[in-house]
Amino acid sequence: MNIIQYENYQEKREQDPSGFPYLTYPCTIPLDFSKVPLHWHDEMEFIYIKKGTGLVSVDFVPYEVHGGDIIVVSPGKLHTIEKWKQESMEYENIIFDLNLLRSRHPDICWESYFSPISRGQKNLPVHMTKDIPFYSGIASCLDQIDQVRETFPEGYELLIKGKLMELFFLFWSNEASSSSPPPRPKKELERTRQILKYVEQHYNRPLSIEDVSDACGMSQSHFMRFFKNTIGMPFTAYLNDYRLTMASRLLLSSEDSVLTIAGDTGFNNLSYFNRIFKEKFGITPREFRRHMDIPPSS
């Protein structure tokens, strides 16, 4: 798994070698990473908790999750994954394009059931727990898909499509017994996605509040107020935190020097980078790399 790519705000997934757009990634927090920053993507995502406890937020609503829970992330939803207190969590990321279930010809199934989800007009239940009546059916569909993906027998794609159809049937047929939190205003979410996309594309170069506010068509004062109220921290603090997260991933996934990685993630002052990296992670970048058993670049 490309962790840097995984943690980009709008994720871009590489396709399965067979061309079948259904991908799964086993992850462990904090072993693989301590946090997946706020991000969004156009694909459907299930976060299937296998073991432990963690915290997942979807459109800024936090959910404490435990082994067996399933988080449903519809296309375009802003979400984060992080550790909860001192707990660890093992989970499976399941990513697929809803167009996988679309016919080439006009199709009542797509227009009635999948298109509303793709366009954000249908809210699915977000936090699936074992006490929800139809939970066992949803979990069974995902488990059977996992089983067939262990050996990839001839025709495995048919089973995956069939189980996904069954899974969404359970969502729709149990609509009356399921609930989801009221959505945040669409304009607020769209503006947040616009800001995050800009940060994703420009975090590795000098980036000021004026730059981002101009790009988003907002005054600086309005931008700072909006960002603090929405994200919960000042923009500069968030930008530094995001850059440090990207730097930590590069320390583990490359053998570039600390100086190079600092520059590649937007830090032009090595002393400043070392200092705030230690404030966030408790150790220096070089110690972080040695601790994770990754040989540093000469």
pLDDT tens figures, 61-95 = 999 999 999 999 999 999 999 999 899 999 999 99
Q: Which domains does the chain have, with CATH numbers?
A: 3-177 (2.60.120.280), 186-291 (1.10.10.60)
What does the block give as tokens for 116? 């509303």
pLDDT band for position 18 (cuts 50, 70, 90)? low
- Give the H/E segment covering residue 257: none
Does the pTM surpass 0.85? The reply is no
Strand partners, 206: none
Parallel, antiparallel, or unpaired for β 89-96 and 22-29?
antiparallel
Which residues touch 240 (CB under 8 Å, ≥6 apart)? 276
Cα 282 from chain centroid (whole Å): 25
Greatest Cα-to-Cα distance within the chain, rounded to the nearest angstrom: 61
Phi and psi of 22, rounded to 5°? -135, 110
Per-residue burial over 98-120, b = 16 or more CB atoms within 10 Å of its CB, e = otherwise = bebbeeeeeeeebeebbeebbee
Confidence at residue 178, expressed as pLDDT on a 0 to 100 scale: 66
CB count, 10 Å around CB of 183? Answer: 13
- Residue 81 near residue 133 (C-beta atoms within 8 A): no
Mean of the per-residue pLDDT values of the chain? 89
